[in-house]
Structure 1
Amino acid sequence: MTRYAVLLRGVNVGGVNLKMAEVASTFESAGFTGVRTILASGNVLLDSRKDTAAVRDTAQKALRETFGYDAWVLVYPLDVVAAISAAFPFEREVDGHHSYVTFVSDEQVLDELAALPEGAHEKIARGDGVIYWQVPRSATLATTIGKTMGKKRYKSATTTRNLRTVDKLLR
């Protein structure tokens, strides 16, 4: 049995509003156990004997069938999430800044994002399957990464979490 973090993309923003209790129930009905939601922004912990790809496929199908939206999720064994958090390359807490992790499931997309130039006061670094970035709080959407992530091309292969949220998944 493996403990997974399932990260829903685009939930409770842009008109896709889901109640996390209903998401948890949906995942339990899909055969997952130990289901627990973290915050209201599409973070779910669950247990499964399936491999990562099968968990992703099952979760997406269950969300699409239950809630009727084009659901995209990224799935990671919890030990991988711990390693991603531990590898954060910048100072974790900087006054007036957000520290983010963008999870990327497509290697070509990861290459594209990693090649983006840093904007003013923005730090970008490639990690193992992720992009780490840090930006001033008031400038998130105006940054190089912020502007790029809104494009449709990245919808199915990326999701971003604040580093504090990533760490909450590990508690």
Structure 2
Amino acid sequence: MTQFAAFLRGVNVGGVNLKMAEVAAALTDAGFANVRTILASGNVLLESSSSVEAVRNTAAAALRARFAYDAWVLAYDIDTVRTIVEAYPFEREVDGYQSYVTFVADADVLDELAALAAGPSEKISRGDGVIYWQVPKGSTLDSTIGQTMGKKRYKSSTTTRNLRTLNKVLR
């Protein structure tokens, strides 16, 4: 069995309110083992012998069926998440700034996001299947990446987590 991190897009923000205990139950019922949620923002650790693609598709289908919402899930084996976090190219903790990783499941979308010009106080860097970015606290939604990610085109293939959350997932 491989341990995976499943990141649910838009959970407990923007009107999609799910109780994490119910999310864990839905994923357990879908056949995943040792399901555990981290925080209330759609971060799930689970185990499966399936491929990462099968984990993503099965998790999304289970959540759609249980909660009747358009569930978007990005899944990665835990070693991949660790490698992504370790590769963060900017200083991790900067007073007054948020440090983020945007996971991107579509290569064309990754190319588009990587081509964006950073705003005046923003840093953007392409990683392996991710966009690393850092913005002043309070300006996330006004940032180049933040404004772009809010568009419907990006919702099904991207989700963002801050480094603190990812470190909790990896503990």
TM-score by length of structure 2 reads 0.99
Alpha-carbon offset, residue 138 of structure 1: 1.7
Who is 1:28 aligned against?
A: 28
Who is 1:3 aligned against?
A: 3
Who is 1:150 aligned against?
A: 150
Who is 1:112 aligned against?
A: 112
Who is 2:123 aligned against?
A: 123
Who is 1:66 aligned against?
A: 66
* 1:155 maps to amino acid: K
Partner of 1:88, secondary structure, is coil
Q: C-alpha distance in 1, partners of 2:79/2:144?
A: 30
Who is 1:89 aligned against?
A: 89
Alpha-carbon offset, residue 79 of structure 1: 0.1
Who is 2:41 aligned against?
A: 41
Q: Does 1:133 align with 2:133?
A: yes
* 1:63 maps to amino acid: L
Q: C-alpha distance in 1, partners of 2:108/2:94?
A: 30
Q: C-alpha distance in 1, partners of 2:67/2:35?
A: 18
Q: C-alpha distance in 1, partners of 2:72/2:142?
A: 24
Q: C-alpha distance in 1, partners of 2:21/2:123?
A: 36
Structure 1: runs of 5 or more not aligned: none
Provide runs of 4+ in structure 1 moved above 6 Å. none
Who is 1:103 aligned against?
A: 103
Who is 1:164 aligned against?
A: 164
